[in-house]
Amino acid sequence: MKDEVSTEDRKGALKGMGCSRKRVEDVRFTQGKGNYVDDIKMDGMLFGDFVRSPYAHARVKGINKDAALAIPGVVAVLTAEDLAPLGLHWMPTLAGDKQMVLADGKVLFQGQEVAFVVATDRYAAADGVEAVEVDYEDLPVVTDPFKALEPDAPVLREDLEGQTEGAHGPRKHHNHIFTWEQGSKEDTEKVLDSAEVVAEEMVYYHRTHPNPLETCGCVASMDKVTGKLTLYGTFQAPHAIRTVVSLISSIPEHKIRVVSPDIGGGFGNKVGAYSGYVCSVVASIVTGKPVKWIEDKMDNLMSTAFARDYWMKGKISATKEGKITGLWCHVTADHGGFDACADPTKFPAGFFNICTGSYDIPTAYLAVDGVYTNKAPGGVAYRCSFRVTEAAYFIERMIEVLAIKLDMDAAELRRINFIKKEQFPYQSALGWEYDSGDYHTAWDKALEAVDYKGLRAEQAQRVADFKAGKTRKLMGVGLTFFTEIVGAGPIKNCDILGLGMFDSCEIRIHPTGSAIARLGTISQGQGHATTFAQIIASEIGIPADDITLEEGDTDTAPYGLGTYGSRSTPVAGAATAMASRKIRAKAQMIAAYLLEVHDDDVEWDVDRFVVKGAPERFKTMKEIAFASYNQAIPGIEPGLEAVSYYDPPNMTYPFGAYICVMDLDVDTGEHEIRKFYALDDCGTRINPMIIDGQVHGGCTEGYAIAMGQEIAYDEMGNHKTATLMDFFVPTAWETPEYQTDFTVTPSPHHPIGAKGVGESPNVGSVPAFSNAVHDAFRAFGLVQSHMPHDHWRVWKIAEELGLH
């Protein structure tokens, strides 16, 4: 029975964890064989489109459908008046608020859905939209969250008027949503009052948008014979959508099938429930035919879930030597017309209380005020875990401001305040238990890789040359060290709409030794079919190429809470490993029976069980799989399959060190990224090539956010960036080259030690780019400049400093 193949060759054949295996999904994507929602065609399918409000705040005095219904092909026009008898004119939000499905008496933001036109083709639907006559009475508009809280500010949510309690506690103003506090205010203010040094700053993380390549959409099909509703859509959490649809419509959940086919990017934009889903379902029930709704890019940018829009007032205290003693932060969070943020129920401001970052800060206090304004609702975690990006940007800007106040090197200030390796697991002042980390090693590696001392010397010479008139370009070195919190999450503190945020995996081994795995997640470009197969390959010894992965169909996949907030590897990846280990445990008993020894006398070896002390006697997993189906083994059921529902004991805490070197032309405001170095520690690395791809993509999104991407409004609430002519999307021309690196600090509580990486580059890159801009001007004085740092804003900094 001796096998001449070496252990290393057997490991290589598996293509398991640690292997840079090519993405198996790419074969069909690169050939145009993807299957997206808009590719779905069904007999008799109708098409829906929305009449949207041109006003940011207005009374809807009347809607005339007659002209629209007279257009050939228009089948129906739905309004709130039609939905009200069904109780569907309002729907619950993920944040515990409620939101209009269609305008009920008034509109609260430009682009809000007013009526839903259903027609036989998209062209007729568009004509019908143009023909619907809506009588508006415009109302005062407020787009500034600070003005929204003034005593004489207009009442936006008239449905809540007089209510002093909201989903998250007391409301102190008619446009106030909640106040969320963490830490000790009294202790922190005492520390600040007695501190040797205190630095203050207003840090604004502007409103932006996930802007996935594929917009949101769905196809709803109600079968009146079976009473079963099938809903295809761009859902990042198919099972949660099924539950929400059941709660809204009262259709029994077993009569609803939700399918997410291929998704062209999500980034948080496709977590929540939108009016198009509800209206498509209603239209299908009313007409008895499938109804498709696909928004255009302008609709997507104007009305689906935005990200960020946090005004963060900070104070940070320290000794003269630079040891941080306290952190105080107050956030004014602009939530738009409805509180539709995608956050766990107990965290109305997400995980922003990780704003102490990577630093051993003994005392801290955080308060967040949520505010209604006349903007689109639905703040989501745009490639970050529930407001972690805002938190990381805040602390990394505060560190830079403190370094200036102390006249201290910002790299050294970080070093002396890092949480030490021996302090893990570390309890933060604002409530989190960091699992593991080795920040000093990562930081030293990063500084050495970019020749930090050499960069500072070059920068000093650049300043001297600028003052001497030899150059008009300044140089900035943007430093960032971030700790993210991902893997939501433990049911003990994480749920959405009462659903615990566990995840799941079901694995079935076929008689010939190949396998199928079904998960409660859904990939939007993360490479799940590749990496999850690698976890299974390493755990049970079946080649990754022999493993098929399925997601996104609630009729076949086990219940899970979906893909967002870097949950895939920390939660679903753990479920995959645990299901694999259940299979391996059963396989051990089968192998022992086949080898005629006791269970404890065999041990695992890459892809087989071998007899201890006699490795020439073994049974491979393929042999064990076949035996499980064709032999009657005493005390063991036939077959080889398992399911795991994994509730993590804690979050995971990936971290990284990012450094950006940027040249800025003071006369034009133009920039050039000379170097961008990104070191990530995501624990155990499953597929290095996919990690690099995730870092490249996330850093490019971070670059867009920091240097130009913005959702902007004028004082009348008009959306100024509703097309890609105005909303910055980097091309290959603008995108810098990234140098990636890593350290490995496994999570002690995760089955394979993995922490997740998909969102880290967005979290870490934004402050690195922004800090580079601020650092370039540091030698000439301080000007408070908010992102995005487009050419105009950079030019204005130079003007204010008298550098033109």
Would you name the residues annotated as active-site residues? 236, 383-384, 759
Residue of 57, 143, 148, 63 whose CA lies nearest to 106: 57
The three state secondary structure string of 433-482 is: EECCCCHHHHHHHHHHHHCHHHHHHHHHHHHHHHHCCCCCEEEEEEEEEE
262: left (phi over 0), alpha (psi -120 to 50) or beta: beta
Contact call for residues 702 and 764 (beta carbons, < 8 A) = yes
Helices (H) and strands (E) in the chain, counts: 20, 34
| Cα angle 28, 29, 30; round to 5 | 95
| Placement of tokens 């003052």 in the chain | 467
How far apart (Å, rounded) are the C-alpha atoms in residues 552 and 418? 41
Residue of 339, 239, 663 whose CA lies nearest to 476: 663
Peptide bond connecting 290 to the previous residue in cis, omega within 30 degrees of 0:
no
How far apart (Å, rounded) are the C-alpha atoms in residues 192 and 242? 49
Helix axis angle, 439-450 relative to 410-417, nearest 10°?
160
Contact call for residues 267 and 215 (beta carbons, < 8 A) = no
Q: How far is CA 697 from CA 30, 701, 737, in A?
A: 17, 6, 11
Strand order in the sheet with 614-620: 602-605, 608-611, 614-620
Residue of 61, 56, 177 whose CA lies nearest to 107: 56
The three state secondary structure string of 547-578 is: EEEECCECCCCCCCCCCCCCCHHHHHHHHHHH
Contact call for residues 95 and 341 (beta carbons, < 8 A) = yes
Secondary structure percentages of the chain, helix, strand, coil, to 5: 30, 25, 40
User: What phi and psi, each to the nearest 5 degrees, are found at residue 317?
Assistant: -115, 155
635: left (phi over 0), alpha (psi -120 to 50) or beta: left
Contact call for residues 540 and 548 (beta carbons, < 8 A) = no
